[in-house]
Amino acid sequence: NCSKNLIFPHAEYDRFNLQDMDETECLREFRVRKLDVPRLADALGLPKILSCPQRTKTGRIEGLCILLKRLAYPCRYSDLIHRFGRAVPELSMIYNTVEDWIYQHHHDKITQWNDNLLNSNAL
């Protein structure tokens, strides 16, 4: 009984470090300036360490960058391996954890904004 999942060599890549990226790379990959990534993490109130349900841990900057990368351009998790040096299941769980955390802590703002934007008078 062997797994039918493809094996990606994530261990061959270095772990993510925002400081290793130049400004152009950061803006191209995340659609956010390098200096603004920590500011966005602060504004969202992300905790310093995020823990996934199966115990994978990530720093808030890496977690936010995984989310930003996936939202900036449609891509598969396997496309993120070279940037983050993590296995596909980890990338998926980190993305979901960050997205869930933001929704849990900010959904009231999102739903209120939608009510203002999508009311019958505006449509």
pLDDT per position as a tens digit, 67-83: 999 999 999 999 999 99
Q: What is the pLDDT of residue 110?
A: 73
The DSSP secondary-structure symbol of 45 reads: T
Q: What is the pLDDT of residue 117?
A: 65
Closest Cα partner for 44 from 94, 114, 117, 103? 103
Q: What is the pLDDT of residue 6?
A: 65
- Rounded to an integer, what distance in angstroms lies between the CA atom of residue 67 and that of residue 63? 6
Q: Which residues of the chain have pLDDT under 50?
A: none
